[in-house]
Structure 1
Amino acid sequence: MGSENRNQLPPVRGLIVGNYCHDVLIRDDAVIAESLGGAASFISTVLDGVSVSISSSYVSKVGSDFSYSVMHAPIVSPSSLTTLFHAYFSSVSTERQDRILKRVRACDPILPSDLPSSSFSFGMAVGVAGEILPETLERMIDLCDVVFADIQALIREFDPIDGTVKLVPLKNTGFYSLLPRIGFLKASAEEAPFVDVDEVRKLCCVIVTNGKDGCTVYWKDGEHRIAPFPTAQIDPTGAGDSFLGGFTAGLVQGLSVADAALVGNLFGSLTVDHIGLPKLDLKLLQRIKEELVKRKMGCSEVHEKQLDKFAKPSGHQQFHTSLSAVKSIKSESAN
């Protein structure tokens, strides 16, 4: 055991910035669930579950009314209540049964002064309710070697009357000038039209998630479609957050961009098949860890010789097949 500990590398340090919140799910005017929400909650579930090599600091704000026990303690604001969202669903069948999301109240924004002063290998800007300011993202960029940003943290505005979420073009925000200094920008298919992917891909890597169709990775010189993991969608809340957590975990642990996006798709699919945070049992997580280690070891020599980090490495399809087999563990246990 002593030899094993001596050979173990120190954990990679990450900075995750975004508020926890309370989510209330409403179907046909009846409350069907209340749960912990916010991108930080979904991302911590993924990062804490799948990687022993990542040690992250979380900067989130809540009010004194915050009613959940979490692994990463938030900052308690004395001047506001916890962010609260109502998500409205309808029983009427539609092609995409997306929710209507309304922000009922918002906690205080996260300020640059709320961030720790130490340096980090990576940062994740994952606000959900407008809590990340341009100056906060700029400070994250200064502190972190690479930053992953979720577009929902940058382009959401909220109706002053009923709190309905509205999207604005990224170019009309104070964040656009920072894009050349971040590494990866994630957007959903619904958010992508507000990004101008063809222009932004020249500045940073853009990943567009598209539910049951997987995702597409865009960079300056090309693009890849990344295969999905089929699942029955019950609640889309947090799927993009879980994707970003899985994608980041894959990259941090040495996978290629394409392979890491497969890991993101896997965790997105594990999130949408029930309400609330993904339920990841220890057996499932252990199998995922084993597959990540095998994939990293199998690709290490290829990666060292590979100049284009965006190229799909050999064995990519087999990696998808292996992860699909792991996902079947959850399907079998659910039955």
Structure 2
Amino acid sequence: MEKLFDNVHVGNLNLSNRIGMAPMTRSRALADGTPSDLAIDYYGQRSSVGLIISEGTQPSDDGQGYPNTPGIYTKTHIDGWKKITSKVHSEGGKLFIQLMHVGRVAHPDNTPHHRQPVAPSAIAPNAEIFTAEGMKEIPTPRALLENEIPDIINEFRVAAKAAIEAGADGVEIHGANGYLIQQFLSENANHRQDDYGGSIENRSRFAIEVAKAVVDEIGAERTGIRFSPQGTLNGIEEGESNIEMYRYLITELNKLKLAYLHVMNFGNEPFMKEIRELWSQALLMNRPGRPLEQLSLDVDKELTDVVTVGTWLISNPDFVERIKKKSSLTEPDRNTMYAGGAAGYIDYPSMS
């Protein structure tokens, strides 16, 4: 585990350790998307990780999928995030805000304008989503017109600018987990016949153009991007060309010299090694279901520079210190993960 506590450079940051906080939706924001004051303590408590990547944060009304998720596109949002970044920095931490446009993984009941979700194509994910009235079937989205796509790209640009104004150290573009960017990448979610569908190059175009827009606005050293190659969350099937597509996509994005690439590792070790070879900047890796004793495995093998941790950090705000001292971990209460309020959010104890 010793290598986890080495410093590492990511973008223009020198991180104090190689443990990152993975982005996790917690549904504690106010109704207008402003982070609640509870989030100040939540992120501040976890500032000992090398890098905090915030919960998915919508860049627009259309980008919201779940109830009470934060936004980063109004002055009120910016003011709310300023309190969080100030707290994290005062505790010696670093924070990137994750920009998450959910695309079709949404319900009108959960958005401020109550409109039909948008997506590359009018294809429903055949899944349910939580609303204030309980679980509901996700409706069929509206296919974006080609002349609307630049507007969506600009939403990412504006949100990235707002994140920096709010004091964030950078942003992570969410291209994983079946949300809008991965919908463009996926053969079963993208049936477009224009420049954004069909070939690998066309299906990758949206992700690349979003990244370029964000880089143009805030700089490559402040921009990360996340992918989940071969992930099937939210009805995604990327098709037989999956690996070839990510080879192309990562090669093209590598030219932008982003701060980092954040990948979910589902066990395809040869492909993860190939990604390591294709990518020249910092690599972050999240391995779902990894046992605690293997936490440092990917760092030890030099497969990644930073390992990101999710659920363990919900119930162990002092996770880094516990790992250093080989102390036991607190199990999370899954009934309070999205329940709202302080319980299961900021009331988990640190070691005495």
For the criterion TM > 0.5, the same-fold answer is no
- Normalised to the residue count of structure 1, the TM-score between the two structures is 0.42
Select the structure that is richer in strand.
1
Normalised to the residue count of structure 2, the TM-score between the two structures is 0.40
